[in-house]
Amino acid sequence: MAIAFNVDRLASIRTPFYFYDTNILRQTLDAINTETQKHDNYFVHYAVKANTNPKILQVIREAGLGIDCVSGGEIEQVLKAGFPANKIVFAGVGKSDWEIELGLDKGILCFNVESIPELEVINEIAARKGKVATVCFRINPNVGAHTHANITTGLAENKFGIDMQDMEHVIRLAQQMQNVQFKGLHFHIGSQILEMDDFIALAHRINDLQDQLEAAGIQLDIINVGGGLGVDYQNPQANPIPNFKDFFAVYQQHLKLRPHQTLHFELGRAIVAQCGALIAKVLYVKENAIKKFAIVDAGMTDLIRPALYDAHHRIINLTSTATKEDAYDVVGPICESSDVFDKDIPLPKTRRGDLLAILSAGAYGEIMASGYNCRPLPVGYTIEDLA
Ligand code: LLP
């Protein structure tokens, strides 16, 4: 089932805005739960950085997922949405003191610690509060991912995580500290990964690290493999639900999980991307000697992915009844040359007033919107809002 548009209803709302088909979201969550329920030790934490719209959060909470946060603001937002603190994991290379305090006060499941200085500060703050912080170390596994350089995270050159060769040392340090309890390891190699081989490589790397640690007498309770599963941006309507079966099967087949261990996932994009679309209105169609521009009222302030990562989002015309197609550059109104959603794409003959849907925009869309050019932030509506 593809994302469903009630065009008459959408046409009655001021553009641009985000539209979320929560039926797609629920089906996606069902597909995840179907796979993870085969194991009593698999836990999925929604990477809330992808979308914090409260209505989206509510559906995800109802499906029973936990949360992966990267800021105090996200922790506050998900607690407000009713997620239990003990299902929250907290990552990030630069956690502020107040964010660490918040995590400790609320009793989150685990801090994913990314450096020794951070570990020392967490220990200090926890000591001041008379608490013990549960920590995992984010290890940089030096595993590449076949994705855009800006969203690759698991290479030695990236700022994330602790080097593999320092792993034993930091664990020993943590074990000597009074106010932290070392629980396990965390990894995340990148985002929009479609090659299962990348995840297989990660699983093998984790097996090696586990063997090495066990030989040194160190046991892990938690293994967190992060997120990164990609979605089909080319054909979202044909493939609205990502391949969760293969994704979870990778870990079942390749990761040597010990019986007492829990395995944690931090999926963001794969959960929310395909349920969302950015709806924009065509303001003008402008032609020059070589091009036709469809100038729309949404811009890079509403969806920055094309400008920032050269990301491709499928664009469809919801209202044109023309049978003849033309090639258009779909561009926004912002005073930046990179404010282009796509170039030379075929659309049915497009005119002023037509509604376009920019698909697969549920992840890293609304949440990355900015007020540049003093533009209002886009509103997000669910299918229920429009019923
Ligand atoms: N865990 C950690 C530690 C992460 O850094 C991320 C994403 C995730 C989980 C979730 O990854 P996902 O399952 O969504 O791939 N704004 C970019 C993506 C940035 C991803 C940052 N980290 C984009 O629009 O493509």
C-alpha 190 – ligand 1 centre gap (Å): 7
| Range 90-97 average pLDDT | 96
Mean pLDDT (the chain) is 96
325-331/292-296 β-pairing = parallel
Whole-number pLDDT of residue 154: 60
The residue whose CA has the least distance to atom 6 of ligand 1 is: 227
Is residue 275 predicted with pLDDT exceeding 80?
A: yes
Is residue 316 predicted with pLDDT exceeding 90?
A: yes
379-382/340-348 β-pairing = unpaired
pLDDT in tens, 100-130: 999 999 999 999 999 999 999 999 999 999 9
Contacts of residue 375, defined as CB under 8 A and 6 or more positions apart, other chains included, come to: 299, 301, 302, 334
pLDDT in tens, 231-249: 999 999 999 999 999 999 9
C-alpha 11 – ligand 1 centre gap (Å): 32
pLDDT band at residue 4 under the 50/70/90 scheme: very high
| Range 259-266 average pLDDT | 97
pLDDT in tens, 44-84: 999 999 999 999 999 999 999 999 999 999 999 999 999 99
Pocket test for ligand 1, best of 187, 266, 274, 300 (most atoms within 8 A of CB): 266
Phi and psi angles of residue 56, each rounded to the nearest 5 degrees, phi first: -70, -45
| Range 347-368 average pLDDT | 98
pLDDT band at residue 258 under the 50/70/90 scheme: very high
Give CA separation, 4 vs 1, 22, 229, 299, in Å.
Answer: 8, 10, 24, 23
Please state the separation of Cα 81 from the chain's center in Å: 18
C-alpha 347 – ligand 1 centre gap (Å): 31
**What pTM was computed for the model?**
0.97
| Range 28-43 average pLDDT | 97
Rounded Cα distance between 202 and 122, Å, is: 28
| Range 33-48 average pLDDT | 97
| Range 21-34 average pLDDT | 98
CB of residue 74 inside a 6 A radius of ligand 1: no
**Nearest residue to 296 (alpha-carbon basis) of 304, 286, 307:** 286
315-317/355-358 β-pairing = antiparallel
Pocket test for ligand 1, best of 225, 269, 271, 368 (most atoms within 8 A of CB): 269
| Range 21-37 average pLDDT | 98
pLDDT band at residue 1 under the 50/70/90 scheme: confident
C-alpha 280 – ligand 1 centre gap (Å): 25
Rounded Cα distance between 306 and 311, Å, is: 4
Contacts of residue 169, defined as CB under 8 A and 6 or more positions apart, other chains included, come to: none
Whole-number pLDDT of residue 148: 66
**Nearest residue to 298 (alpha-carbon basis) of 282, 287, 276:** 282
Q: What is the 3-state secondary structure (H, E, C) of the chain?
A: CCCCCCHHHHCCCCCCEEEECHHHHHHHHHHHHHHHCCCCCEEEEEEHHHCCCHHHHHHHHHCCCEEEECCHHHHHHHHHCCCCHHHEEECCCCCCHHHHHHHHHHCCCEEEECCHHHHHHHHHHHHHHCCCEEEEEEEECCCCCCCCHHHECCCCCCCCCEEHHHHHHHHHHHHHCCCEEEEEEECCCECCECCHHHHHHHHHHHHHHHHHHHHCCCCCCEEECCCCECCCCCCCCCCCCCCHHHHHHHHHHHCCCCCCCEEEECCCHHHHHHHEEEEEEEEEEEECCCCEEEEECCCCCCCCHHHHHCCCCCEEECCCCCCCEEEEEEECCCCCCCCEEEEEEEEECCCCCCEEEECCCCCCCHHHCCCHHHCCCCEEEECCCCC
Rounded Cα distance between 33 and 39, Å, is: 10
Whole-number pLDDT of residue 332: 98
The residue behind tokens 């590449």 is 144
17-20/222-224 β-pairing = unpaired
The residue whose CA has the least distance to atom 24 of ligand 1 is: 364
CB of residue 309 inside a 6 A radius of ligand 1: yes
Give the chain's length: 387
Higher-confidence position of 158 and 254: 254
Whole-number pLDDT of residue 149: 65
Rounded Cα distance between 70 and 308, Å, is: 20
Whole-number pLDDT of residue 75: 98
Rounded Cα distance between 165 and 141, Å, is: 10
Other CB atoms within 10 A of residue 104 CB? 21
**Nearest residue to 88 (alpha-carbon basis) of 80, 258, 191:** 80
**Nearest residue to 59 (alpha-carbon basis) of 278, 367, 275:** 275
Whole-number pLDDT of residue 156: 64
pLDDT in tens, 277-301: 999 999 999 999 999 999 999 999 9
Is residue 41 predicted with pLDDT exceeding 80?
A: yes
C-alpha 178 – ligand 1 centre gap (Å): 32
Q: Residue 279 forms beta bridges with which residues?
A: 17, 357
Contacts of residue 130, defined as CB under 8 A and 6 or more positions apart, other chains included, come to: none
pLDDT in tens, 144-168: 777 666 666 666 667 788 999 999 9
